[in-house]
Structure 1
């Protein structure tokens, strides 16, 4: 059973775009370079930042979200992960108190309360001086049972600017300033339509280039923040209290082989989704849609999200794998596809004025747009029975897609989900069904939909 005194902290911002992700990556890598075993977490439904945090720490990152997970599940996931290292670093999302409503439900501050974790706030100080003290004082007093343990000033203009900011905070508040970062001339990790560019695409030697970028951010953190003070704050976190039992105490023996695509096109998977399948009895086999290497014998197939649009040309060129996936579906293999995986199962993908053929399982196409077509938390009700869900099941998830689904004959399609919250594919529906293939824009977290992994593996076992 984990010790309840493990060091931990939450890094938060006043809004999106304040630089907290770059700071989180720099601090995580700097702490790792100091010889500490860092356990990374990302608040909210986010694959890209989580992947970079995992790369910075040298271990898989877990996502924490009060929308998906009840308090006991969230605390169990955190505690049993955090106990594996020396210090846990949680990157928040959006603004510190921003949630789903005016009460701030599911906010980063709410997550910090559930974890009894101190918060370090990153503040973009562009064109601001004494006002920063009012902001810090307001945040510290805004909610009860909230521990603002320090602030890090970001995008400061020079020594005079940093001095005024620091003196203002020290004069008008008792919150320590733990660092003051200058404006970076260039972001070592470029961004595009869905956030940071993933390391899979970051240059021809993605892994090595990503490591160099993270080391550059670590150097910034080491030079401009007080790492020793930050560690002391984490070590002085309040006692965590009672720790819920492990999430998967009795894994089942192997009973089915499920392939999951893990390449530059599709790689959005929550670590817990893969672990849930394994604990339900799946042997997981990583696959690629970009290689023409023959696949092994499988009982099921999992196609996660990703960036099929940026890999559309090589995906289309790999005709043998496209045909193979379509034939697997035609033979009734259980196939589960989320967002990017759904785009691959369509007839075609339209991107930047070109149309690329895809696997052709469903008689629809997807069209990439300049603005998001679906964004945020979702809630859906299963209106059809499938091997994955029973009619009446309510599924919590999220969507974030720039593509839209285009159907020539919508009446010929079978949708298994009715959206109660969120956009989905067409007319408030999601989850296309064809034989035992399920595909939708909706992403799920396995711990929020506990029947999913067991149903998936059981369907594969029955087919086997």
Structure 2
């Protein structure tokens, strides 16, 4: 058995303020000298990145859809090891999941981790009614440990007094914090959620300001006491990482800059454990790249850097040459957009790397949003034919079947047939050209255990062939 002090923080819905509360609590505890292991429930890169900054250590994503329960428990135990507190920010509403039973919900995660849960409620224009909401949440699902509430956007002392009295009188659930209304969101939002931490200056000062407000408004010590009362967990004894598949130590570059930076830390760790040497490269910098045996392009915001990406012709040529030379190249979402011939955004057309005879165009509304499931139907270096992949999509761009260059070259081959989700074209995703694979669907290495080993094995083959 292992003891891990832990809390899960959830909201009634998106926009309740749980992210601001999560960031503030995390940084406030760090400022007290505590080691906080941060987690984000769900397939979310942006909130996880902000949590990493707040905790001053990398956050991990926990998701009952993307990985099985044994892998999720093992990951949680592995990443929380040695920490004073494991803190998980939920997603969507507390009970919202994939179906009427709430499958894959934050409440399911809290029950799976046997974790006390703290509920954030937006108290705008509400007094006694909040007690009915708390009582309903406390009794809605058997086995949920609703240990306290934090009220957000309270209007003043009188409002706060009525809220506290009503909740504690009718429900017995303690009120552990009451935040005032903030005149403006300290972290502005845009079409995919919070502004990226890579595009917003002064992140540390922002986090310190949030920590001050949240720390002054919440009972940090009582929250810690609740976390420490969490029951012991069974030691998972479950191997979640791949074994090394080669002694060659192939070098895989992964793009990390303001354009592409969506990576699960576990995907990178899985590649390392499978035997790869990882190196950061940039599509925006003029710096030369080291010799590579493979390339990984994550998701991100290529549309915000479209002109800079187009202007860096050397990088575009380099990526196209890497692909045509047969090195394994894996791209997700934003990385796929870069590998197309064009990116259409804000009334302009920007040239991209031109690996695929396709283009993408930015839209005003989401074109793919939520969990995805796909069958692998065509050969590629990364995913065996017949495999079912679980992943997620979150993109405002859509794929165009032809670029303005009339889609020259061979007709694209698509390796994925979408059983759930949008994909690229006609229910298909995962375009393939030689050893290059790109998809709108993001996968998690702990849910697609074959991926890292196959990627590294193919990169090792390239390195060996070059050496010979």
TM band (smaller chain) = over 0.9
Take 1:455 and 1:222, find their aligned partners in 2: how far apart are those partners? 46
Aligned residue among 365, 370, 373 for 1:376: 370
Task: Give the paired residue count.
Answer: 457
Q: 1:154 to 1:254 in 2, by over 3 A?
A: farther
- Return the match for 1:299 from 293, 300, 304: 293
* Distance apart, 1:242 and its partner CA: 3.3
**Which position in structure 1 is the counterpart of 2:330?**
336
> In the aligned structure 1, how far is the partner of 2:227 from the partner of 2:236?
18
1:128 corresponds to which residue?
A: 126
Q: 1:154 aligns with which of 147, 152, 155?
A: 152
Normalised by the length of structure 1, the TM-score is: 0.97
Q: 2:225 & 2:244 partners in 1: Cα distance? A: 37
Write the deviation string for residues 23-47 of structure 1: whole angstroms up to 9, x where unpaired: 1001000011011000000000000
- What's the CA shift string for 1:52-84, capped at 9, x where partnerless? 000000000000000011111100000111113
SS in 2 for 1:165: helix
Of 406, 414, 418, the residue aligned with 2:400 is 406
Q: Which moved more, 1:251-260 or 1:358-367?
A: 251-260
Secondary structure, aligned partner of 1:309: helix
SS at match of 1:126: coil
Cα distance in 2 between the residues matched to 1:348 and 1:441: 16
Instruction: Name the structure 2 match of 1:239.
Output: 232
Structure 1 CA distance, aligned partners of 2:241 and 2:351?
41
Alignment of 1:439-454 (within 5 A): 439-454=438-453
Partner of 1:457: 456
What's the TM-score, normalizing by structure 2?
Answer: 0.96
Q: Between 231-240 and 146-155, report the one with greater CA deviation.
A: 231-240
Task: Output one character per residue of 1:304-345: Cα deviation in whole Å (capped at 9) or x when no partner.
Answer: 000000000111100001011001111111000000000000
The alpha-carbon distance between structure 1 residues 249 and 260, as it changes in their structure 2 partners (threshold 3 A), is closer
Give yes or no for contact 1:41–1:50 (8 Å, CA) kept in 2: yes
Tell me, yes or no, if the aligned pair for 1:258 and 1:285 is still in contact at 8 Å.
Answer: yes
1:225 corresponds in structure 2 to 218
Aligned partner of residue 50 in structure 2, secondary structure: helix
What does residue range 102-141 of structure 1 map to in structure 2 within 5 Å? Answer: 102-141=100-139
Is structure 2 residue 164 aligned with structure 1 residue 171?
A: no
Q: 1:394 aligns with which of 366, 388, 393?
A: 388
Q: Does 2:348 match 1:354?
A: yes
Which residue of 52, 67, 70 maps to 2:68?
Answer: 70
Preserved CA contact (<8 Å) 1:80 1:246: no
Aligned to 1:19: 17
Gaps of 5+ in 2: 464-468
Does residue 416 of structure 1 match 2:403? no
Which 10-residue stretch deviates more, 271-280 or 79-88? 79-88
Q: Distance in 2 between matches of 1:346 and 1:217?
A: 40
Q: Distance in 1 between matches of 2:248 and 2:155?
A: 58
Q: Partners in 1 of 2:277 and 2:328 — Cα distance?
A: 15
Q: Which stretch shifts more, 15-24 or 253-262?
A: 253-262
**Aligned partners of 2:242 and 2:270 also within 8 Å:** no
Deviations 1:177-217 (A, max 9, x none): 001001111221111111111111103xxxxx000100000
Q: Output the CA distance in 1 between the equivalents of 2:391 and 2:237.
A: 24
Q: Is the 8 A contact 1:118 1:147 kept in 2?
A: yes
Q: Which residue of 2 aligns with 1:206?
A: none
2: distance between equivalents of 1:14 and 1:119?
12
